[in-house]
Structure 1
């Protein structure tokens, strides 16, 4: 999938949910406690980070979006620490302090970059606070275009259906990160994002891809959801939308270091991207990249805008260029799984000129990815004569790969690209020049499976043969 960096500074995202403080005690362990067979940790440093819905808000702000947060905290030191960190990060907080209840704290003890134990200092907030949450939501909706409901089952979203209804009535997209097995309470959400374990806890075990998709579609219809995104760990993510083909996103993680907060990263990136004007598929694609960054960090950590921009740039560089036939087939499969339309063209491209550049730009505009199949040197000689090509295959591939309009360049040995077209099965087959549709090689194959064949014109007075003849003529006059 071709991703670009959205204008996150235009996103206005309201986050409502269970906020918590992730507290870390870090040190070294060199011995076993004499009191019990457990490591003894000498704590050398402590660190506090916003967690839960607060981490979602922090992620939106780190991307550059305008994040507002509503949640419940106790009137205590952890609540004050949480509010201070969020406000320092630019999050507009409305944390409702309640008497005789405590801020949720997750205390993790870390030694040698390994989590030894987690201590949960928490109680579920009472349902009596639901009207205060609903009132705060109503006051904040006018300044938001996307609402994220981050449910950790701690009581803040005890009347979540009322919040979904109110937000949808204001025209906001409502994204829900669910908890528990009662998904009925999320009815009518624009997007529901369970992980695979949460999804299977509701619909039952999915023994195959087909079963997963069938149960996902049924859940979308049953709950009147706009879309369902199932995050599947190392198997990536699968997006189901009403009336649309499923879209699968392969995992982006190169090395999984710590999955803490990865789900928060996913939903916050989707929310910020939607708020910045991206469509849902692109927003999920961006969240997939962001999650790959997040799991490479220790503990709860936000993904910043510059980090995501660099990752997108690196992905773009590694996801295009000169490829073998086998690499192309695999890349095409991934692109089609992400819903991208593949455009295919072919030629010798011996001396790249303005006509080629304009033609390839037109071809690329017809779809999401452009494949340029290029004749091998032997194939060019058979077609053009013993004096051609002027430029060898490797040079021609390098030049074509450098064009922004071209995604993949692949060589073929045959006189025609027919065998390659049969393998790639492009959505659109394009040829440039004075051809009729019936003369385009491979056209009958593409039309047979429902693809499209197009003929585009080259710029006038642009021809490789004419350029070669002109060069030879000038060389002769000088001799």
Structure 2
């Protein structure tokens, strides 16, 4: 990244009063907390800045601060962050949470800039202009409404990536943002506030996708990623098939701060030149790790320095009502680790996973006369042996449209190269309200690579040269097939 990460937004002071609840008050049915311990940390845009600094990034925070003790304490907590304060006629926001046993009992909020924020000074405009990546952390408390600030951000976004973390009480993202990251509730509220046609109010992926697309168009953003908590994030470019970025399955008591962790990780990744899909995947994983480690409640100098790393796990949503059926498709010729990873990710989206498997004739028409290497009966047998697969359906057509009409899945998953594209299955899915999503690729895993490696190995040993040449030919016909895509094969 050629410049610092510049975070513009509403910082606040977060204070947790943590105690032990072992008895009830004699004068009211409320717990009495003993052994109170006070913990203070940066909140809002301040937490985002602290997290970025803990990642080793150069960070500049532009925020509205009052002339009070809370502002002074917040500056002390932001050691390692360059803080540029905008003048505010209000008190610095303070959030106080009273907690016991890891659970919040009550939250008390004070402060904020009711009198408004002054004009953005020259040092603020210079910082925005010199950014290597921009993050707008809007908590609806007025920082981003400083005179001249939005224009400066909009101008800078023409040359550096801008990530915008919005709030229903805040303003609209400036046009041209690389990525906007509302959560599910925020997306719903913003569609309603703007009077957009976001479809129905269902919490299905189809409903969320329509709202995300409507917001992307209204905001003129390159992409919108609606964060879905333990389900990950739904990424759309405003049209075509969205990508569903799954989250690792972790135990979470307090999700506070997850959105800040995701936005920071995404903004840093974009500033390093990574594509949007990779940046969102990084953000989802880091957010899961963050809440698994205790979230914002466990932020202190030591925890911010501690690296986290969790494997991607699968889990069942355990729907109390009608089971959510997920379907995916492909050739699955020479099953490899990339296939398994995407199958597990697909299964994590619902209660049952149905694999629509191309027949031998279908594979030959798609891949050429050298394929499949493994016959359909064996491919189906291996797939059924996987714990994440509930059913395998073999079909003989060139597309899975008719088999989808029989299975009628709630969710249909595609390979990573289809994000933003139109696919023939979309029309049939709409017949029963199903939704297509794209799952990320596992890099460096493909049947083509396996075929070519085997052919190369055979050729280097001088044995079965005819088979080796045939294997190379099959590999050339295959294309990249490390996904669960039926058009290009898997």
TM-score normalised over the length of structure 1: 0.64
Q: Which residue of 2 aligns with 1:195?
A: 183
Q: Which residue of 2 aligns with 1:393?
A: none
Counterparts of 1:35 and 1:292, CA distance in 2: 41
Residue pairs, 1:35-434, within 5 angstroms: 35-87=27-79, 90-96=80-86, 98=88, 101-129=90-118, 131-132=119-120, 135-159=122-146, 161-169=150-158, 171-180=159-168, 184=172, 186-203=174-191, 205-207=200-202, 208-241=204-237, 245-296=241-292, 297-301=294-298, 304=304, 307-308=307-308, 310-311=309-310, 314-315=311-312, 330-331=343-344, 333=346, 430=448, 431=451, 432=455, 433-434=468-469
Larger Rg: 1
Counterparts of 2:34 and 2:474, CA distance in 1: 78
Deviation at 1:281, TM superposition (A): 1.2
> Mean alpha-carbon deviation: is it higher for 171-180 or for 244-253?
244-253
Equivalent residue of 1:307, what SS? coil
Q: Which residue of 2 aligns with 1:473?
A: none
TM-score normalised over the length of structure 2: 0.63
Equivalent residue of 1:127, what SS? coil
Q: Which residue of 2 aligns with 1:31?
A: 23
Equivalent residue of 1:103, what SS? strand
Counterparts of 1:94 and 1:231, CA distance in 2: 29
Do 2:262 and 2:284's aligned partners in 1 also have CA atoms closer than 8 Å?
yes
Tell me: CA distance 1:335–1:41, structure 2 relative to 1, closer, same or farther (3 Å).
closer
Equivalent residue of 1:295, what SS? helix
Equivalent residue of 1:14, what SS? strand
Q: Which residue of 2 aligns with 1:19?
A: 11
Equivalent residue of 1:157, what SS? helix
Tell me: CA distance 1:243–1:17, structure 2 relative to 1, closer, same or farther (3 Å).
same
Deviation at 1:44, TM superposition (A): 3.1
Counterparts of 1:328 and 1:298, CA distance in 2: 27
Do 1:15 and 1:67's aligned partners in 2 also have CA atoms closer than 8 Å?
yes
Counterparts of 1:436 and 1:326, CA distance in 2: 20
**Unaligned segments of structure 2, at least 5 residues:** 193-199, 314-334, 350-371, 387-393, 401-412, 418-445, 456-467
Tell me: CA distance 1:163–1:196, structure 2 relative to 1, closer, same or farther (3 Å).
farther
Do 2:154 and 2:175's aligned partners in 1 also have CA atoms closer than 8 Å?
no
Deviation at 1:236, TM superposition (A): 1.6
Q: Which residue of 2 aligns with 1:395?
A: none
Tell me: CA distance 1:10–1:315, structure 2 relative to 1, closer, same or farther (3 Å).
farther
Aligned residues: 363
Tell me: CA distance 1:438–1:225, structure 2 relative to 1, closer, same or farther (3 Å).
same
Tell me: CA distance 1:38–1:335, structure 2 relative to 1, closer, same or farther (3 Å).
closer
Do 2:160 and 2:271's aligned partners in 1 also have CA atoms closer than 8 Å?
no
Deviation at 1:219, TM superposition (A): 2.3
Q: 1 or 2, which has the higher helix percentage?
A: 1
Equivalent residue of 2:143, what SS? coil
